[in-house]
Amino acid sequence: MHLHPIRSISDPLYDRWLDVYQRSFPLQQQVPVSVHNAALRPGGMGARDVRYVVCMGEDDGECLGMAHFELFKADGTAALWYLAVAPDRRNEGIGGWMYDSIMHTMQSEDPACKACVIEVELPDKCADPDLATRRIAFYERHGAVWLRGCASLVDVGWQPPLKMGVMVHPFARLSEHDMRAVARSVLGNLLAED
């Protein structure tokens, strides 16, 4: 497996990225496709360090998954906005490999990066509580910490807003206070804390 970066809307693998994205996330979590299209047009990302990647199989060129993440080098933080494995390839270790590879990429490209923020469905706020609980456990197994009492209000602009949980994957030893500060830095006024 390898991660293939998508740098423009004309990349033929972008359609596969979109296919996995649209089949994997509830509508309340999907920003309009036009937002992704604009980001991948020349100059569309501006100074932002936004990444779109697909996970490709080595032998057959099959698209195994997709991800969208961002580095905030000025703040020493990052965010994993989307991570999904193609529905017919789940539970094969692909998601874990992708996640670990992305965390490694963040650390190697920005050694000053303290942590990565991840928004997750809250078991009591979604259609499938068991799946939400499994996702949280997945991120915890890979080193992320669930910040109980922290929530993010996800508003994709065309669906009702959705309250989501916040997790932080620290790249160094961080206290809960420090992890909350990272979450505030990335999410700003979208973060609600108890």
Please state the domain extents for the chain.
2-188
Whole-angstrom Cα distance, residue 156 to residue 122?
17
Fold of 2-188: Aminopeptidase (3.40.630)
Q: What confidence category does residue 35 fall into, taking pLDDT thresholds of 50, 70 and 90?
A: very high
Residues β-bridged to residue 57: none
Q: What is the mean pLDDT of residues 81-110?
A: 96
In this prediction, residue 59 carries a pLDDT of 77
Q: What confidence category does residue 26 fall into, taking pLDDT thresholds of 50, 70 and 90?
A: very high
Q: What is the mean pLDDT of residues 121-143?
A: 94
Whole-angstrom Cα distance, residue 79 to residue 101?
14
| pLDDT at position 46 over 80 | no
Residue 132 C-alpha from the chain's centroid: 15
In this prediction, residue 98 carries a pLDDT of 98
In this prediction, residue 120 carries a pLDDT of 97
| pLDDT at position 103 over 90 | yes
Q: What confidence category does residue 134 fall into, taking pLDDT thresholds of 50, 70 and 90?
A: very high
User: pTM for the complete prediction?
Assistant: 0.94
Q: What is the mean pLDDT of residues 55-59?
A: 88
Average pLDDT over all residues of the chain: 94
Q: What confidence category does residue 194 fall into, taking pLDDT thresholds of 50, 70 and 90?
A: confident
